[in-house]
Amino acid sequence: MTELAIYDMDRTITRTGTFTPFMIHAALRLAPWRLVFVPFAAMVMLAYVAKLIERKRVKELNQAMLIGRRIPAATLIPIAESFAEKVMRHNILPGALDSLAENRAAGRRLVLATASSRIWVEPIAAKLGMDDVVATGAIRGIDDYVSHKVDGENCYGPAKLRMIEAWMGLEKLDRSQCHIRFYSDHVSDVPVLAWADEAIAANPHAGLRAEAKRRNWTIVDWK
């Protein structure tokens, strides 16, 4: 039996989200003048809240405004690395690190499954000691630029479960031969929590806390 411990990232392992902080971190290093678009980025988020645009489109528009439509990978990689160092210093919940250490010691394969972009998730995952990453991808050009466009699905809600299952297929992991723990803070991850063998609501917001109590899922508070 293969043991997997799969974690959401933002507000599960980290104290806060990482999308806007990364956009600002990158803008400051690439083109600080782009910070004039921050109010417009907030307006894009309001459009999402009003259900005028999809979450995927929010990411594309805000990345285009704050860090650009095409960025050479060689330019972006060190920025993502410096952001990961910052996250590790200031934005990781100690309880999450304890959980990762416990699962690692038990021999479980550690997987980070997050709606955040692979651009900055991979260096964070490496520093956390994750074995694998399932994340929202960015289109990469043949001249090795990184586009603001999302490659495929945004790894959020039901799409996250589809992407985890696709990753398992690529890794030749038979679901019937796996025991899976899944950790998340947000109700959007109910499809994955319900699919897992062990559902752990970590630092749950009100919606997930209520759902976890209703379904008798484990609740942990790492804050």
Residue in this structure with the two tokens 């650009």, named with its chain if needed: 68
CA triple 155-211-2, angle to 5 deg = 55
Distance CA 3, CA 17 (A): 28
Residue 212 structure tokens: 């976890």
Do 8 and 184 form a contact (C-beta atoms < 8 A)? yes
Amino acid 47: pLDDT:
87
Rg over alpha carbons for the chain, rounded to the nearest Å, is 17
Q: What is d(CA 152, CA 182) in angstroms, rounded to the nearest whole number?
A: 23
What are the residues whose beta carbons fall under 8 Å from the beta carbon of 114, sequence distance 6 or more? 8, 9, 10, 121, 133, 134, 135, 136, 155
- Residue 21: how many other CB atoms lie within 10 Å: 17
User: Model confidence over 36-66: pLDDT tens digits?
Assistant: 999 988 898 898 888 888 989 999 999 999 9
Q: pTM to 2 decimals?
A: 0.94
Residues in the chain with pLDDT values less than 70: none
Is residue 10 a contact partner of residue 116, using CB atoms and an 8 Å limit?
Answer: yes
Report pLDDT for 43: 93
Domains of the chain: residue spans and CATH: 2-220 (3.40.50.1000)
Q: Residue 141 has what pLDDT?
A: 75
Burial state string for 164-193 with b = 16 or more CB within 10 A and e = fewer than 16: beebbeeeebeeeeeebbbbbbbbbbbebb
Please list the alpha-helical segments (H only) found in the chain: 19-30, 38-49, 55-66, 73-90, 94-105, 118-128, 158-170, 190-195, 206-215
